[in-house]
C-alpha cells in the first residue's frame, strides 16, 4: 500500500474543509460520518466457516461487485479517491448484517475477482490498501512523548479493525499465552470500508471485497480490549511532519530513521508488532527499554507479489512484513524506540498506475510530500496492538 491515511483525508480536502491531522480532535470523524451517511451497504453474501476456536463463530462476508478503472479507461468509477493516479477508491459503511456487540478474535480481508478468488499482481491488480475502520473507537492513547510534544499517531479516523495493504496482514486479537484479549466491537458502531486498488489491466474490471472474521458474542468477563495503534517513527518529532510519511533524503538510496522520546503512557500488554513500509523499506525494529520487541523485516516477492513495470521489467513488491505476536508487559514510562531502515537500490519504489508522471499523490499533496517523480512515497509506521491493563471506562 502507501498512504492509507491520506486517502481518507483527501476526500475531506476535496470538500474544501481544513486538513485535520489530529485524530482526537474529531471534526474529521463527524465529517466522515456525514459523507458516508446513507451509504450503508449490505453484504452480497455471507457464508459460515469452521471456526478455529470451537466457542467462536466464523463467517466470510463479501461485498460488491465494485468496479475498478482499467489502465486505458477514462470511466469515472469508485466512491472514494485513490492515492494512485491509475487506482480506484471505494468507501462504504457496512450495514446491520455486520456483527456488532461481539469480540473479534481473528480476521483477514481480501480483494477477490468474479470467481471469488483473491486477485493479486498475478492478475495485474495491486491492492494499495483495504482497511476496515471502527469510526467510534479512536486509537488508544497508550503512547506519549517524553519531550513535551503531544504525540502524533498516523491520522486515521478511528481504529483499523482489519486490513491490509500490498503486504498480507491478518488481525489476531487473542493472546492465549498471557492474558485474555480480543477486540470489542460496540453495538451498532459505524464500520467504514476503505479500499484503494490499482488495476493495471487495460479494461475496467469488477472485484469483490471480502472479510473472514471469527468472533464470540458480547464481551467476556475479564477480557482485555486490545486494538492496533499506528505509531509513526516521527510520532514525537518536533517540526512539520506528516505522521508516517517519510521524505526520502535527496540523493540518498540507503538511510535510517530513528524515533525520539516515545514512552508508554500507561501499563499495558503490547503484542502483534508489525512494521508498515512501502517498497524501498528493509525493516522496522521496535525496542522497549532497549530490548528488541520486534524486528519486522520486509519480505519482497513471492506468489502474487511480482509484477511488471510499464517497460516490462519485473518488479517485486512487499509481500509480507514479519509480525511478532508475542506479548510484552509494558509499564507506564517505559522507553519505546522505533528504527526504520531503507534501501532503495535493493528494493526500488513502486511505479504509479499509468506508468509515469503525476506523482503518487496527485497534484494536491504530491509536491508537499516529495512524490513528484511518479514513484510511491515511503512510510515508517509501527503497528502495535495495545491492551491497557487498567482501562479507564
Ligand atoms: Cu502505507
User: What local confidence, expressed as pLDDT, does residue 176 receive?
Assistant: 67
C-alpha of residue 244 to centroid of ligand 1, in Å: 8
Supply the pTM of this predicted model.
0.86
Give the pLDDT of the chain (393 residues) as one tens digit per residue.
333 444 444 433 333 222 333 344 445 555 555 555 556 999 999 999 999 999 999 999 999 999 999 988 888 889 888 888 889 999 999 999 999 999 999 999 999 999 999 999 999 999 989 999 999 999 999 999 999 999 999 988 899 999 877 677 889 999 867 889 999 999 999 999 999 999 999 999 999 999 999 999 999 999 999 999 999 999 999 987 788 888 777 788 899 999 999 999 999 999 999 999 988 999 999 999 999 999 999 999 988 888 877 777 888 889 899 999 999 999 999 999 999 999 999 998 877 654 333 334 433 333 344 444 455 678 899 999 999 999 876
Instruction: Give the cell for residue 140.
Output: 488508544
C-alpha of residue 25 to centroid of ligand 1, in Å: 23
C-alpha of residue 4 to centroid of ligand 1, in Å: 6
What's the start-to-end Cα distance of the chain, in Å? 34
C-alpha of residue 363 to centroid of ligand 1, in Å: 19
Which region, left, alpha or beta, applies to residue 369 given φ > 0 means left and ψ of -120 to 50 means alpha?
A: alpha
Boundaries of every domain in the chain: 4-388
In contact, 289 and 310? CB cutoff 8 Å: no
Residue 12 CB neighbour total at 10 angstroms: 19
C-alpha of residue 276 to centroid of ligand 1, in Å: 6
Q: Phi and psi for 343 in degrees, rounded to 5? A: -145, 95
17/9 Cα distance (integer angstroms): 10
C-alpha of residue 281 to centroid of ligand 1, in Å: 11
Alpha-carbon distances of 159 from 229, 249, 300, rounded to whole Å: 7, 31, 27
C-alpha of residue 166 to centroid of ligand 1, in Å: 9
In contact, 318 and 363? CB cutoff 8 Å: no
C-alpha of residue 94 to centroid of ligand 1, in Å: 23
124/350 Cα distance (integer angstroms): 14
Assess whether the previous peptide bond of 316 is cis (omega < 30° from 0).
no
By DSSP bridging, strand 245-246 and strand 378-379 are antiparallel
C-alpha of residue 128 to centroid of ligand 1, in Å: 8
Beta partners for residue 130, in sequence order = 164, 195
In contact, 42 and 62? CB cutoff 8 Å: no
Q: Which residues contact 151 (CB under 8 A, 6 or more apart)?
A: 141, 143, 144, 145, 235, 236, 262
C-alpha of residue 379 to centroid of ligand 1, in Å: 6
C-alpha of residue 390 to centroid of ligand 1, in Å: 31
C-alpha of residue 383 to centroid of ligand 1, in Å: 11
C-alpha of residue 24 to centroid of ligand 1, in Å: 21
Exposure string (b/e) for 361-378, b if CB count within 10 Å is 16 or more?
Answer: bbeebbeebbbbebbbbb
User: What local confidence, expressed as pLDDT, does residue 226 receive?
Assistant: 96
C-alpha of residue 377 to centroid of ligand 1, in Å: 9
C-alpha of residue 278 to centroid of ligand 1, in Å: 6
C-alpha of residue 42 to centroid of ligand 1, in Å: 28
C-alpha of residue 259 to centroid of ligand 1, in Å: 18
C-alpha of residue 345 to centroid of ligand 1, in Å: 19
C-alpha of residue 1 to centroid of ligand 1, in Å: 5
In contact, 290 and 337? CB cutoff 8 Å: yes
C-alpha of residue 236 to centroid of ligand 1, in Å: 19
C-alpha of residue 179 to centroid of ligand 1, in Å: 30
User: What local confidence, expressed as pLDDT, does residue 128 receive?
Assistant: 87
Amino acid at each position: 500500500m502507501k498512504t492509507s491515511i491520506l486517502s481518507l483525508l483527501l476526500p475531506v480536502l476535496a470538500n474544501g474543509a481544513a486538513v485535520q491531522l489530529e485524530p482526537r480532535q474529531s471534526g474529521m470523524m463527524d465529517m466522515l460520518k456525514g459523507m458516508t451517511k446513507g451509504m450503508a451497504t449490505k453484504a452480497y453474501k455471507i457464508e459460515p466457516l469452521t471456526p478455529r476456536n470451537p466457542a467462536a463463530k466464523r463467517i466470510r462476508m463479501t461485498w460488491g461487485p465494485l468496479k475498478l478503472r482499467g489502465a486505458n479507461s477514462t470511466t469515472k468509477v469508485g466512491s472514494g479517491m485513490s492515492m494512485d493516479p491509475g487506482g480506484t477508491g471505494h468507501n462504504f459503511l457496512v450495514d446491520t448484517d455486520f456483527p456488532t456487540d461481539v469480540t473479534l478474535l481473528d480476521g483477514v480481508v481480501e480483494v477477490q475477482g468474479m470467481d471469488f478468488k483473491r486477485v493479486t499482481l498475478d492478475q495485474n491488480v495491486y491492492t494499495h490498501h483495504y482497511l476496515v475502520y471502527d469510526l467510534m473507537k479512536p486509537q488508544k492513547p497508550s503512547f506519549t512523548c517524553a519531550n513535551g510534544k503531544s504525540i502524533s499517531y498516523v491520522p486515521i479516523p478511528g481504529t483499523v479493525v482489519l486490513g491490509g495493504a500490498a503486504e498480507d496482514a491478518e488481525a489476531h486479537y487473542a493472546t492465549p499465552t498471557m492474558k485474555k484479549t480480543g477486540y470489542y466491537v460496540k453495538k451498532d458502531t459505524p464500520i467504514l470500508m476503505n479500499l484503494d486498488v490499482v488495476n493495471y489491466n487495460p479494461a475496467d474490471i469488477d472485484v469483490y471485497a471480502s472479510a473472514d472474521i471469527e468472533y464470540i458474542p458480547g464481551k467476556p468477563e475479564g477480557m482485555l480490549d486490545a486494538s492496533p495503534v499506528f505509531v509513526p517513527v516521527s510520532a514525537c518529532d518536533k517540526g512539520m511532519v506528516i505522521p508516517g510519511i517519510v521524505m526520502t533524503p535527496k540523493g540518498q538510496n540507503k538511510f535510517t530513521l530513528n524515533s525520539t522520546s516515545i514512552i508508554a503512557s500507561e501499563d499495558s500488554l503490547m503484542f502483534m508488532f508489525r512494521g508498515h513500509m512501502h517498497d524501498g523499506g528493509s525493516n522496522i525494529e521496535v525496542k522497549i527499554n532497549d530490548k528488541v520487541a520486534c524486528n519486522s523485516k520486509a519480505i519482497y516477492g513471492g506468489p502474487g507479489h511480482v509484477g511488471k513495470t510499464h517497460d516490462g521489467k519485473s518488479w517485486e513488491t512487499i509481500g509480507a512484513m514479519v509480525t511478532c505476536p508475542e506479548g510484552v508487559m509494558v509499564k507506564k514510562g517505559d522507553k519505546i524506540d522505533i528504527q526504520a531502515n531503507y534501501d532503495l537500490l535493493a528494493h526500488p519504489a513502486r511505479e504509479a498506475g499509468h506508468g509515469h508522471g503525476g506523482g503518487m499523490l496527485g497534484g494536491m499533496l504530491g509536491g508537499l510530500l516529495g512524490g513528484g517523480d511518479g514513484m510511491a512515497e515511503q512510510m515508517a509506521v509501527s503497528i502495535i496492538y495495545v491492551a491497557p491493563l487498567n482501562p479507564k471506562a
